[in-house]
Amino acid sequence: MHKVILKPGKEKSLLRRHPWVFSGAIARVEGSPVVGDTVRIIAQDGRFLALAAYNPVSQISARVWDWREDTRIDAGFFRVKIATAIRMRDALLGKEPAGAVRLIHGESDGLPGLVADRYADVVAMQISSAGCHRWRDAIIAALNELTGARALYERSDSDVLELEGLQSRTGVVHGTLDPPQVEILENGARFRVDVARGHKTGFYLDQRDNRHFVGELAAGRDVLNCFCYTGAFTVHALAKGAKSVASVDSSADALQLAQEHVRMNGLPEDRCEWIDADVFPLLRKLRDQARQFDLIILDPPKFAPTPATAERAARGYKDINLLAFKLLRPGGLLATFSCSGGVSADLFRKIVAGAALDAGADAQMIGQFHAAPDHPVSLAFPEGEYLKGLLCRVA
């Protein structure tokens, strides 16, 4: 088997079970591995460290498959990993036929570069690493066998593919799905998921528990839902008795589906306000109009995919949070989120605290948000904790 020999001292992160090897840590490569090949990662002193998928094109030159030298990386390996991940979700969340759940969560399930989400009887998968691309057929076969899905849809179209030197691939790889929309049930609410064109694999499953919790807080309140996408927070807020919900997004198509979700769930349309706008200038406009709300939800898209872009992202996060604090009535609540991997939870808290200070708001943090438990975080891979959020109250 091909070998990747590390520079002196560069084995430390792998000894802590961190699953990435960066290009700068490599002293030399023995053999002639090509993109996606399995290699043995070796310390400078000759110690075996891990089996990994090799990609000389990426800054992350190797992603660990397994820490045992005698493990065979073959189709059986992927079947076992996928079966283990699915069993964990079944034990944790049960099997709701119409429900939606993340079945595989990349590195945290020992499958770097693979995400698979189940929407009722359809599975959407996304490959973003050379190793999983190499074993794509085995992964598809295992998902088909283990999920019994009527259709498997590939959404390997993320921006990271370019960094990995991989081509985008989308479409049905098993079964039939026409049209590519699936109805799901989430905490009693119905939603229609577009697995072909929706964000990520079609829906933000990581926010499932947070939507339910924030919805409970909405009873009797005037709510502003920013970056509302297809209105999941809006639906849960209305279902729990929100007095009104103003929902903002820059996508007319997303807003149209959000309105359909309100109708599907038999919720009062007269309590809804739909605003097709960029959130940043819209918040300033609302401030100038002296609008006020009892609960504001900020769930923006990823501002900082890497730490290198964190400074620029911090300005954006501070701007929207500062304006949100200004729009809250006394006793109002702000549920604010970041899904940027490049912004740590500590940095995000500092940004929100700075925003409250500049807004002249006397604010308390009364809760924190994380991804739902079907999005586990390996203790050796803190980068997996990308979603973070704060619940703040103003005096």
- Residue 194 CA to residue 257 CA, distance in Å, equals 10
**Cβ neighbours, 10 Å, residue 69:** 11
132 belongs to the catalytic site:
no
Name the maximum alpha-carbon separation found in the chain: 70
Assign 348 to helix, strand or coil.
helix
Strands (E), 31-158: 38-42, 48-54, 60-66, 100-105, 114-119, 122-127, 151-156
- Residue 260 CA to residue 262 CA, distance in Å, equals 5
Q: Kindly report whether the peptide bond that precedes residue 19 is cis, defined as omega within 30 degrees of 0.
A: no
Where would I find the H helices in 9-74?
12-15
Determine which one of 132, 228, 272, 339 is catalytic: 339
Burial class (CB in 10 A: 0-12, 13-18, 19+), 287: middle
Contacts of 158 (CB under 8 A, 6+ apart): 126, 128
Strands 122-127 and 151-156, by their bridges, are parallel
- Residue 317 CA to residue 303 CA, distance in Å, equals 8
Give Cα separations from 326 to 174, 349, 368 (angstroms): 50, 18, 21
- Residue 292 CA to residue 277 CA, distance in Å, equals 18
Where would I find the H helices in 135-251?
136-147, 160-164, 208-217, 232-239
Q: For residue 56, what are its two tokens? A: 């000389």
Q: For residue 129, what are its two tokens? A: 């690493």
DSSP of 81-102, one letter per residue?
HHHHHHHHHHHHH---TT-EEE
Order the strands of the 3-6 sheet from edge to edge: 20-22, 60-66, 48-54, 38-42, 3-6, 26-30
Q: Give the DSSP H/E element, type plus range, for residue 389.
A: strand 388-394
Instruction: Yes or no: say if 220 and 247 are a contact pair by the CB < 8 Å rule.
Output: no
Catalytic residues: 339
